[in-house]
């Protein structure tokens, strides 16, 4: 009996140690570091995207890539470029005709089947092949549900959606999985409350892909969930202490303005196999944090005032820095806007602004690909 009690005590101790490792303290960070990209990534490459009248980008974001292509979302337009920067084709058309889509609120790529899935604000998903051919559409949510985000996950082979139900009694948030043909598979509740809040704004949860499944975090909840083939679990707790924003602060604009001194919330998150990149909005500054997933510790912490952004230094670049916008496994990507870069860095990359000015158009951004 004593042996059994001893073994149980050891198990409880190990479980408690593991639980402690799963909590990341973001409130009292005793780390103030500066890093180069070579401290985090094994290689960084720069790909200027071709500029023509058919693919002139205005406010673009990169949302996916494979071994041959990179996909860009610009307002209600989707563009496909080759990995050498050459423009390939547009995908889908904004409109109300057959095969045309409405206002976009999500863009995803199923690289196993070379299908682009575009989500609209009315809850539909429009399917196209990578050449832009229309393949059909399906509805993700019912009229009583509010679709906040949708992310295709290759490991789960389905669409993972953040869906909310607001009632007079409170809020319920759950993750819904849907097949590529629109068949609803399962739902998992991640949050529920009985708060009566005058909702005047909505902030989408952070739904990100990672090895093994989809990761999800609400802006007013410190838990980071992992939806895998085994189900839903809490992967980490990103503890913001007293800086944790309430749902009322996030969703009630009038209340937020009255309590602006307490402004503090995680605004962006990028996840790789090795790191979690966090952008935290403060009242007069932006904080960037990198968490090592191997040690469950903060390895980078930087706070800068609003203005010119200063992220991870890139060796050889005078002013240009890097912070990932999206990830795929251990590859991170972002777009550098040419007009925001210094002349010395542009010359290093062989960018000729004078030639673009002669053509009467601006230059498309530069794709940055950073591999770990």
> 146-178 burial by CB neighbour count: b if 16+ within 10 A, else e?
ebbbbbbbeebebbbbbbbebeeeebbbbbbbb
Instruction: Please determine, for residue 14, whether its predicted confidence score (pLDDT) is greater than 60.
Output: no
> Does residue 4 lie within any of the structural domains?
no
CA 296 to chain centre: 20
Distance CA 340, CA 140 (A): 38
> Does residue 69 lie within any of the structural domains?
no
Sequence-separated (6 or more) residues with CB below 8 Å from residue 41? 332, 370, 371, 372
Q: Average pLDDT, whole number, for the chain? A: 88
Range with the largest mean pLDDT of 7-11, 25-29, 261-265, 350-354: 25-29
Instruction: Please determine, for residue 29, whether its predicted confidence score (pLDDT) is greater than 90.
Output: no
Could you report the per-residue pLDDT of 194-205, keeping only the tens digit for each? Answer: 998 888 878 889
Q: Specify whether the CB–CB gap between 219 and 250 falls below 8 A.
A: yes
> Does residue 220 lie within any of the structural domains?
no
Q: Residue 216's pLDDT is what? A: 97
> Does residue 299 lie within any of the structural domains?
yes
Q: Residue 32's pLDDT is what? A: 66
> Does residue 364 lie within any of the structural domains?
yes
* Higher-confidence position of 261 and 78: 78
What tokens appear for 156 in the block? 């789960």
Q: Specify whether the CB–CB gap between 70 and 328 falls below 8 A.
A: no
What average pLDDT score do residues 236-265 get? Answer: 85
Least confident of 53-57, 93-97, 248-252, 359-363: 359-363
Distance CA 101, CA 118 (A): 8
* Higher-confidence position of 46 and 147: 46
Tell me the sheet residues that pair with 144: none
Instruction: Please determine, for residue 5, whether its predicted confidence score (pLDDT) is greater than 50.
Output: no
Q: Specify whether the CB–CB gap between 289 and 278 falls below 8 A.
A: yes
* Higher-confidence position of 144 and 250: 250
> Does residue 343 lie within any of the structural domains?
yes
Percent pLDDT > 70 in the chain is 90
Which value, to the nearest 10 degrees, does the dihedral of the CA atoms of residues 342, 345, 347, 349 take?
-130
Q: Specify whether the CB–CB gap between 207 and 196 falls below 8 A.
A: no
- The pTM of this model reads 0.88
What is the phi/psi pair of residue 133, to 5°?
-75, 135
What is the phi/psi pair of residue 174, to 5°?
-145, 160
Least confident of 21-25, 133-137, 207-211, 366-370: 21-25
* Higher-confidence position of 281 and 185: 185
Q: Residue 10's pLDDT is what? A: 43
Using 50, 70 and 90 to split pLDDT, how confident is the model at 1?
A: very low
Question: What's the number of domains the chain is made of?
Answer: 1
> Does residue 76 lie within any of the structural domains?
no
What average pLDDT score do residues 229-243 get? Answer: 93
Maximum alpha-carbon separation in the chain: 86
Q: Specify whether the CB–CB gap between 209 and 151 falls below 8 A.
A: yes
Scan for tokens 């009315």, then name that residue: 122
Instruction: Please determine, for residue 7, whether its predicted confidence score (pLDDT) is greater than 60.
Output: no
Q: List the beta strands (DSSP E) in 229-338.
A: 231-239, 264-271, 275-282, 285-292, 297-305, 312-313, 321-322, 326-328, 331-336
Distance CA 227, CA 146 (A): 20
The three-point CA angle 50-90-211 to 5° equals 85
Instruction: Please determine, for residue 13, whether its predicted confidence score (pLDDT) is greater than 70.
Output: no
H-assigned helices in the chain: 2-21, 37-40, 247-251, 253-258, 343-348, 353-359
Q: Residue 87's pLDDT is what? A: 97
User: Domain range spanning residue 333?
Assistant: 25-54+272-372
Using 50, 70 and 90 to split pLDDT, how confident is the model at 34?
A: confident
Q: Tell how strand 231-239 and strand 23-25 pair up.
A: parallel
Instruction: Please determine, for residue 17, whether its predicted confidence score (pLDDT) is greater than 70.
Output: no
What tokens appear for 17 in the block? 């140690």
Distance CA 119, CA 109 (A): 11
Least confident of 5-9, 208-212, 354-358: 5-9
Using 50, 70 and 90 to split pLDDT, how confident is the model at 146?
A: confident
Could you report the per-residue pLDDT of 94-124, keeping only the tens digit for each? Answer: 999 999 999 998 999 999 999 999 998 888 8
What average pLDDT score do residues 258-267 get? Answer: 78
Q: Specify whether the CB–CB gap between 243 and 263 falls below 8 A.
A: no
Could you report the per-residue pLDDT of 282-320, keeping only the tens digit for each? Answer: 878 889 999 999 999 899 998 888 766 779 999 999 999
Percent pLDDT > 90 in the chain is 61
What tokens appear for 98 in the block? 């057959």
Q: Specify whether the CB–CB gap between 314 and 320 falls below 8 A.
A: yes
Distance CA 138, CA 160 (A): 14
> Does residue 99 lie within any of the structural domains?
no
């Amino acid at each position: 009996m004593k042996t059994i009690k001893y073994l149980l005590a050891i198990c409880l101790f190990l479980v408690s140690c593991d639980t402690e490792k799963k909590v990341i303290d973001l409130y009292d960070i005793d780390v103030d570091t500066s890093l180069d990209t070579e401290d985090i990534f094994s290689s960084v490459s720069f790909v200027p995207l071709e500029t023509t009248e058919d693919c002139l980008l205005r406010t673009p974001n990169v949302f996916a890539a494979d071994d041959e292509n990179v996909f860009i979302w610009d307002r209600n337009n989707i563009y496909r470029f080759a990995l050498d920067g050459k423009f390939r084709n547009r995908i889908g058309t904004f409109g109300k005709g057959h095969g045309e889509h409405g206002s976009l609120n999500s863009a995803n790529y199923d690289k196993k089947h070379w299908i682009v899935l575009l989500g609209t604000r009315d809850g539909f998903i429009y399917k196209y092949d990578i050449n832009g051919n229309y393949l059909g559409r399906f509805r993700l949510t019912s009229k009583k549900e509010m679709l906040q985000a949708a992310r295709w996950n290759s490991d789960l082979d389905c669409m993972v959606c953040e869906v909310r139900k607001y009632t007079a009694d409170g809020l319920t948030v759950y993750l819904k999985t849907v097949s590529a043909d629109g068949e609803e598979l399962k739902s998992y509740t991640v949050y529920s409350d009985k708060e009566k809040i005058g909702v005047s704004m909505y902030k989408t949860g952070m739904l990100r892909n990672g090895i093994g499944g989809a990761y999800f975090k609400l802006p007013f909840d410190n838990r980071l969930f992992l939806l895998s083939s085994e189900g839903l679990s809490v992967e980490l707790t990103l503890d913001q202490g007293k800086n944790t924003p309430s749902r009322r602060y996030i969703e009630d604009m009038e209340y937020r303005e009255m309590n602006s001194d307490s402004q503090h919330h995680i605004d962006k998150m990028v996840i790789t196999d090795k790191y979690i990149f966090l952008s935290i909005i403060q009242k007069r500054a932006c904080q960037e944090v990198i968490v090592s997933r191997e040690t469950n510790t903060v390895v980078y912490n930087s706070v800068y005032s609003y203005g010119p952004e200063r992220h991870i230094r890139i060796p050889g670049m005078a002013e240009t820095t890097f912070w990932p916008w999206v990830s795929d496994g251990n590859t991170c990507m972002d777009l550098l806007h040419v007009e925001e870069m210094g002349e010395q860095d542009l010359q290093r990359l062989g960018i000729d602004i004078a030639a673009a000015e002669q053509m009467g158009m601006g230059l498309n951004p530069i794709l940055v690909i950073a591999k770990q």
